[in-house]
Amino acid sequence: MRLAPIACLACAAGLAAGCGTSQAKIDRTLYEQRCASCHAITPGGTSPVAAARNLYAAHPSEQEIRRAITLGAHGMPANLVKGDKLDNVVAYVLSATARS
Task: Return the pLDDT at 3.
Answer: 43
Q: How far is CA 56 from CA 25, 53, 83, 94, in A?
A: 18, 9, 24, 9
Q: What average pLDDT does the chain have? A: 85
Q: How far is CA 50 from CA 23, 37, 91, in A?
A: 30, 11, 24
pLDDT, tens only, 17-50: 445 679 999 999 999 999 999 999 999 999 999 9
Q: What percent of the chain has pLDDT over 90?
A: 74
Q: 32: how many CB neighbours lie within 10 A of its CB?
A: 12
Q: Considering the entire predicted model, what is its pTM?
A: 0.77
